[in-house]
Amino acid sequence: MEQLIWRQSAFGQQLDAYQSIWFGLSVNGDENNPAFVWDDNLPVDYTNWAAHQPAIQKGDNCGYIDHFMDFPKTWEWKMSNNCESKRNFICKLDKYTITAPDNDAPAHLGSPIECENGWNSLDGGLDCFKTFGKEVIYAEARRSCLSMDSSVASIHDLTINLFVKSLLSTDTSAHLKSAWIGAERTKTGAWKWMDGSNFVFSNFVTDNSDDGNAIIGVDGRWESQDSNSVNGYICSKMKKFENCLATSEIHHCPGSNSGTTEQHCYELGCCWDVTKTSHCFSASADSRKSSEEHTAGFAAGITAMVFIIMYAAVGGVYYFVKK
């Protein structure tokens, strides 16, 4: 709570030259059952309403900050159902540092091989991603990714979500507004990833139980979608490892079976290659010995997004006022 009050006072100091300012608060529902929402989907767990507010009316309702004509100025929140009226407004930009998750490769697999041309990965990451601008139904996206020994992309945490978002916004050749990801609805209504990895992270802004799959937009938010709608798509696959590529005699990985996924195979400390007689196999001892003699192993790296300098930085967030 103290942090939220501090944020308001921090950007409030920038607003002293203005009478009132739009900010990112709106209403879902109606005047009888309003639900307040932030544009960035964060929970509304702090408010600073003026007297007799919030005044919710039929139609659209938008939040703005107003102040009394006293000194020092006292800023309070109000709602207006005239969202077309002209006011100054305040913007927020989260400042992110994107780093790869803690996923050190088992040393005996050797160093990971860099992604193929046209595929991208986080510095220090073990997965390669590629965007495709052709708009297709989900089944076609699935077939296309499988033909490249990959799956429709899995997103396991906010770091990867931010990275995939950046791929969508920077791939000017694809002109993507949204893309299929590998989220698939099960018969029980739960979500699973196409590649069989654990579904431990989601970023849905809408999730209709009748929809069978999901897309990610250029804003990084997910939406459930009917499987027969058309979108671009993103494929992902794990990097290959030098000792796996050097293994000539294929031996079944202990603990794996016909239902083992690539992710599970990796967790078992084994190699994965769908072109081999056993998809999940052990790295040979000879390849491990050669690797130990010629490489220092795998080192994790980090990469940072470019920051835009603005008027004030508060608690990991930049704010600026626009006339």
Cα–Cα distance measured from residue 202 to residue 247, given in angstroms and rounded to the nearest whole number: 37
| pLDDT value, residue 318 | 47
For the chain, what is the mean pLDDT? Answer: 77
Residue type, 163: F
**CATH topology for the 2-95+308-322 domain:** Mannose-Binding Protein A; Chain A (3.10.100)
Top-ranked range on mean pLDDT: pick from 19-23, 29-33, 177-181, 248-252 = 177-181
What is the model's pLDDT at position 197?
A: 84
pLDDT in tens, 213-247: 999 998 899 999 999 999 999 999 989 898 888 88
Greater confidence, 320 or 64? 64
| CATH number 3.40.50.620 given to 127-238 | no
Q: Cis link prior to 101 (omega < 30° from 0)?
A: no
Q: How confident is the model at residue 37 (pLDDT cuts 50, 70, 90)?
A: confident
The band of 312, judged by pLDDT with boundaries at 50, 70 and 90, is very low
Token pair of 198, please? 């654990």
What is the model's pLDDT at position 42?
67
Amino acid (1-letter code) at residue 104: D
Domain boundaries, the chain: 2-95+308-322, 127-238, 242-294
Look at residue 131 in the predicted model and tell me its pLDDT. Answer: 95
Asked if 2-95+308-322 and 127-238 have one fold, the answer is yes
Average pLDDT over residues 117-122: 93
- Strand segments, DSSP code E, in the chain are 20-28, 35-38, 62-67, 75-80, 88-94, 127-136, 151-152, 178-185, 191-193, 204-206, 213-217, 222-225, 231-238, 271-272, 280-281, 312-314, 317-322
Looking at residues 169-189, what average pLDDT do you find?
Answer: 86
The confidence band for 183, taking pLDDT boundaries of 50, 70 and 90, is very high
pTM for the predicted model, two decimal places: 0.56
Q: Quick check: 155 pLDDT over 80?
A: yes
